[in-house]
A and B are shown apart, each in its own frame.
Chain A
Amino acid sequence: MSPLSRRELIKRASWLSAGLLASPAVLAACGRAGPSASTGPAAPPASASGSSGVVTGTTQVLVGFGTGNAPDQIPVQEELATAYAAARPGASIDYLRIPDTDEAQRKLGLLIAADDAPDLVLPTGLYGIALYLDQNVWQDLSGLMAAYGIGLELFHEATHRAARAVNYYGADSKAVVGLPAGIFTHAMAYNKELFAQAGIPEPPHKDDQADWTYERQLEIARALTVDTAGKSADMAGFDPSKVAQYGLGHWDTGMMIRGFGGSVYDAASRRMTIADDRYAQGLQFGADLINVHHVLANDELAAGVAAGADDPQLAAWRSGKIAMIDMCACDLLSFGVDTQFAWDVAQWPRGPERLVSHLNLDVGAIVQQSDGYDAAWQVLQFLLVDPANGARLSTESYGAMSPLKAETGTFVEELKPRFPDVDLQVFVDALDHSTPEQEEWFPAFTKVNDMFGQYLDAVYQGEAPAADQLPAYQEAAQQAVDDWFETHTVPPA
């Protein structure tokens, strides 16, 4: 053979083998047995064993969709796993811990695409649920719950809407996407000394005060925002560029929008509702707190009054430079420690339309692609439905409130020794008006949320009024929602 054709042959052979080797990868990517997305989630087959037999097998639990991997959280989870293996011979729990939330969320997708899905994801915040909700990743638990006689009534009402993913399955559906595993409610923490110094009565701890409104709170905030010359924001001559102390910080302006009656999405009409008047008013109110009244410190402003912790708001609060903050029960271990002043918690004020505060909910969900959903359900039942185990997991490991109605009180008992002077009952009472709506799924929600900064940063910087920016945002968001409906359907009711 002449040298030329030999070389040609080698060249062609290499291209051919590259192509041959590429094709398995492509075919593998395409041919993975994913569930068809047009039908709704599959109900578990009727072979679910009744309440008598023990289901054997190892259940792999993915931990990392939020909290759960801190060194002090792990021991309780391990103890519960040992107890499970003892109580259910032949069954065991294997934790797959991924110590970074974004990577954990990415890895779940990868594992599912490669047919290596874990059985359970526990705990996961609602963002993680929503991220994969329209990809048919989560098993509908209602069938299993019915088979084992477990109802959502065991859990506090505030968790039901999210556990049922109402925007996706529909208000009439019985589907359940995850079992509540831990709840964090929000209260308003306040610096008692700053209130005392200004001679202002402390805000109410019960949520039945009709006059504890956003307006009243704004009044107080103005009195408690003080510049370096000692003038408060409600005095003439107040200099907003020299603020030494803020009335409000670490705030959730998003929740205030809901207090005005604003919402983001209406499932019935499939329309985004952010151009609605109430949303605009709520948004403007929040932005004005920063730019017009100068009572609310955003991150940059907080970093200006007190110095650099890993969170400027935390630094400002700890140095006593903020009078009132939005405190999640999850913030107790950061905002609640190392303060040099006396503080307590009050209820969030009521907005013009609603009294509402945020609820952070963690759930446990079964991955639909897993083969061992019976065993996975057994684990869920053991960890979350059993009152003793559930309370231990929620409170001792996650540091949250148990979502089981019978056990919500353990939260106060557990934390009382650490926070003796704080009215922890406020967190429990907040359940009455708490809602996880802020983290609910709606079509194309990641895209719409990612657009938020693009359109609305200007409002929060005081550079443009909400009314100007919202129509464009609404249009872009609605377009994303409409695009979603062109390629997806929500499951039939």
Chain B
Amino acid sequence: MTQAKSEADQGWLRRAGLVIALLGAATVMVPIAWMISTSLKPETEVFRQPIEWLPVHVRPANYAEATTLIPFWLYFANSLVIVVPVVIGTVISSAAVAYAFARMRAPGTGAMFGLVLAGIMLPGEVTLVPSYLLFKELDWIGTYLPLTVPAWLGGGAFNIFLLRQAFLTIPPEHDDVARVDGHGFLKILWRVVIPQSWPAISLVAVFAFVDTWNDFLGPLLYVNDQDRYTLPLGLNFFKDVYNTQWAHLMAASVLALVPCVVVFFLAQRVFTQGIVLTGRR
């Protein structure tokens, strides 16, 4: 039985918490509502005061235009080409690495974990130039490799750390049951640890998807061919130093966030799936 179902008592505290959360959700939605509302207005009506939440003149053509003023679907496809290998690579490699940190003893792993964290403590601004030169030596500039390969090499400190924490909450007795059966580390990871960590793993997948989908700086630095630009770069074309095309920018932004919303919505179901009780293999 999930925690959710067992807490089905109608406490007033629970209701109060829900109300506050709903109010919070409404507040969070406000900028997003403005985005959607703006995306349907003609450009000249975007800033009418007082704010018109429901557009007076609805202009769905903004969406069609947003996809033709810039090569929207080309950029969409490019983003997809990058995101898929990144998500797969991140989940696999960060799970493996985090598992080692959480479950295995070996000399030097403490220092290594320190290095994992150290990697995100140095502001990227100053490693930009050496990194760029390094990728140049490897001949990766102009390709997607600088963006996809790091995902397979550990997936980033954040994900390693997150999964390590998640794995550490699984009692080691579960492992022992499997080990007694003669299973090696890999099988334990696959059969015991991962099935109990779906919430964390799905979170890693979602974060990897969203962060890569919205990555502006990476493609900007390493991709020089406009035909291979990704969506965040494409959106910036609507923003000019003299004039921003708000309606089209919002329309394109709304379209751009649909995949992320879908991915998240699907993934968060995993959060509500029943979790394994102690003792179950």
- Taking CB atoms, residues of chain B closer than 8 Å to A97 are 226, 237
- B18 part of interface (Cβ distance < 8 Å): no
User: Which stretch of B126-134, B158-166, B192-200 is in the interface?
Assistant: B126-134
Q: Which residues B96-131 have CB closer than 8 A to chain A?
A: 107-108, 128-131
User: Which stretch of B20-28, B143-151, B241-249 is in the interface?
Assistant: B241-249
| CB of B231, distance to nearest CB on chain A (Å) | 12
Using CB atoms, name the residue of chain A closest to B220: A103
Using CB atoms, name the residue of chain A closest to B108: A11
Q: Which residues A75-121 have CB closer than 8 A to chain B?
A: 95-101, 103, 107, 110, 113-116
- Taking CB atoms, residues of chain A closer than 8 Å to B44 are 337-338
| CB of A478, distance to nearest CB on chain B (Å) | 29
| CB of A251, distance to nearest CB on chain B (Å) | 18
Contact A67–B241 (Cβ < 8 Å): yes
- Taking CB atoms, residues of chain B closer than 8 Å to A310 are 47, 244, 246
- B49 part of interface (Cβ distance < 8 Å): yes
- Taking CB atoms, residues of chain B closer than 8 Å to A32 are 133
Partner among A69, A113, A315 whose Cβ is within 8 Å of the Cβ of B129: A113
- Taking CB atoms, residues of chain B closer than 8 Å to A230 are none
| CB of A433, distance to nearest CB on chain B (Å) | 23
Q: Which residues A12-63 have CB closer than 8 A to chain B?
A: 24-26, 28-29, 32
Contact A110–B132 (Cβ < 8 Å): yes
Number of A residues contacting the other chain (C-beta, 8 Å)?
A: 42
| CB of A398, distance to nearest CB on chain B (Å) | 10
- B260 part of interface (Cβ distance < 8 Å): no
- A464 part of interface (Cβ distance < 8 Å): no
Contact A330–B242 (Cβ < 8 Å): yes
Please encode chain A, from 327 to 339, with 1 for each CB lying within 8 Å of some chain B CB and 0 for all others: 0001101100110
- A9 part of interface (Cβ distance < 8 Å): no
A334/B137 contact (C-beta < 8 A), A7-B107, A110-B128 known: no
Using CB atoms, name the residue of chain B closest to A319: B49
**Overall SS of chain A's interface:** loop
Q: How far is the CA of A51 from the CA of B237 in the complex (A)?
A: 37
Interface residues on B, range: 35 or more
- Taking CB atoms, residues of chain A closer than 8 Å to B233 are 99
Q: How far is the CA of A200 from the CA of B85 in the complex (A)?
A: 69
Q: How far is the CA of A96 from the CA of B227 in the complex (A)?
A: 10
- Taking CB atoms, residues of chain A closer than 8 Å to B35 are none
From A71, A98, A307, A310, residue with most partner B Cβ within 10 Å: A71
A25/B242 contact (C-beta < 8 A), A103-B220, A114-B136 known: no
Please encode chain B, from 210 to 246, with 1 for each CB lying within 8 Å of some chain A CB and 0 for all others: 0000000100110010100000011011111111111
Contact B136–A28 (Cβ < 8 Å): yes
- Taking CB atoms, residues of chain B closer than 8 Å to A333 are 242-243
Using CB atoms, name the residue of chain B closest to A71: B69
A315/B133 contact (C-beta < 8 A), A96-B226, A99-B236 known: no
Contact B132–A114 (Cβ < 8 Å): yes
- Taking CB atoms, residues of chain B closer than 8 Å to A73 are 240
Partner among A66, A306, A309 whose Cβ is within 8 Å of the Cβ of B241: A66
- A451 part of interface (Cβ distance < 8 Å): no
Partner among B220, B226, B246 whose Cβ is within 8 Å of the Cβ of A107: B220
- Taking CB atoms, residues of chain A closer than 8 Å to B136 are 28, 114-116
From B220, B233, B240, residue with most partner A Cβ within 10 Å: B240
- A453 part of interface (Cβ distance < 8 Å): no
- B270 part of interface (Cβ distance < 8 Å): no
- Taking CB atoms, residues of chain B closer than 8 Å to A308 are 47, 49
- A70 part of interface (Cβ distance < 8 Å): yes
Contact B242–A113 (Cβ < 8 Å): no
Contact A96–B224 (Cβ < 8 Å): yes
- B70 part of interface (Cβ distance < 8 Å): yes
- Taking CB atoms, residues of chain A closer than 8 Å to B248 are 71
Please encode chain A, from 294 to 336, with 1 for each CB lying within 8 Å of some chain B CB and 0 for all others: 0000000000001111100001000100000000001101100
| CB of A443, distance to nearest CB on chain B (Å) | 24
- Taking CB atoms, residues of chain B closer than 8 Å to A306 are 49
Q: How far is the CA of A7 from the CA of B250 in the complex (A)?
A: 57
- B141 part of interface (Cβ distance < 8 Å): yes
| CB of A320, distance to nearest CB on chain B (Å) | 13
Contact B47–A24 (Cβ < 8 Å): no
Using CB atoms, name the residue of chain B closest to A109: B129
- Taking CB atoms, residues of chain A closer than 8 Å to B132 are 110, 113-114
Contact A110–B129 (Cβ < 8 Å): yes
Please encode chain A, from 111 to 135, with 1 for each CB lying within 8 Å of some chain B CB and 0 for all others: 0011110000000000000000000
- Taking CB atoms, residues of chain A closer than 8 Å to B133 are 25, 28-29, 32, 113-114
| CB of A122, distance to nearest CB on chain B (Å) | 15
Contact A334–B240 (Cβ < 8 Å): no
Please encode chain A, from 378 to 416, with 1 for each CB lying within 8 Å of some chain B CB and 0 for all others: 000000000000000000000100000000000000000
Partner among A7, A71, A110 whose Cβ is within 8 Å of the Cβ of B221: A110
Using CB atoms, name the residue of chain B closest to A7: B107
Q: Which residues B31-48 have CB closer than 8 A to chain A?
A: 44, 47
- Taking CB atoms, residues of chain A closer than 8 Å to B246 are 310
| CB of B113, distance to nearest CB on chain A (Å) | 15
- Taking CB atoms, residues of chain A closer than 8 Å to B141 are 114, 116
Q: How far is the CA of A116 from the CA of B136 in the complex (A)?
A: 9
- Taking CB atoms, residues of chain B closer than 8 Å to A115 are 136
- Taking CB atoms, residues of chain B closer than 8 Å to A100 are 220, 236, 239
Contact B129–A29 (Cβ < 8 Å): yes
A25/B220 contact (C-beta < 8 A), A110-B128, A333-B242 known: no
| CB of A177, distance to nearest CB on chain B (Å) | 21
Q: How far is the CA of A386 from the CA of B107 in the complex (A)?
A: 71
Q: How far is the CA of A334 from the CA of B107 in the complex (A)?
A: 65
- Taking CB atoms, residues of chain A closer than 8 Å to B107 are 7
Q: How far is the CA of A115 from the CA of B44 in the complex (A)?
A: 45
Q: How far is the CA of A185 from the CA of B217 in the complex (A)?
A: 34
Contact B130–A29 (Cβ < 8 Å): yes
| CB of B59, distance to nearest CB on chain A (Å) | 16
Q: How far is the CA of A103 from the CA of B44 in the complex (A)?
A: 29
Using CB atoms, name the residue of chain A closest to B128: A110
| CB of A29, distance to nearest CB on chain B (Å) | 6
- Taking CB atoms, residues of chain B closer than 8 Å to A103 are 217, 220
- Taking CB atoms, residues of chain A closer than 8 Å to B49 are 306-308, 315, 319
List the interface of chain A (C-beta within 8 A of B): 7, 11, 24-26, 28-29, 32, 66-67, 69-71, 73, 95-101, 103, 107, 110, 113-116, 306-310, 315, 319, 330-331, 333-334, 337-338, 399
Given contacts A28-B136, A99-B236, A334-B242, 16 further A-B contacts (CB under 8 A): A69-B240, A70-B237, A71-B238, A73-B240, A99-B233, A99-B237, A100-B236, A100-B239, A107-B220, A110-B132, A114-B133, A116-B224, A307-B49, A310-B47, A331-B242, A333-B243
**Would you list 5 pairs from A and B whose C-beta atoms are within 8 A, ordered by A residue?**
A29-B130, A69-B237, A70-B243, A114-B136, A334-B242
> Nearest 4 CB-CB pairs, A to B?
A99-B236, A307-B49, A71-B69, A309-B47
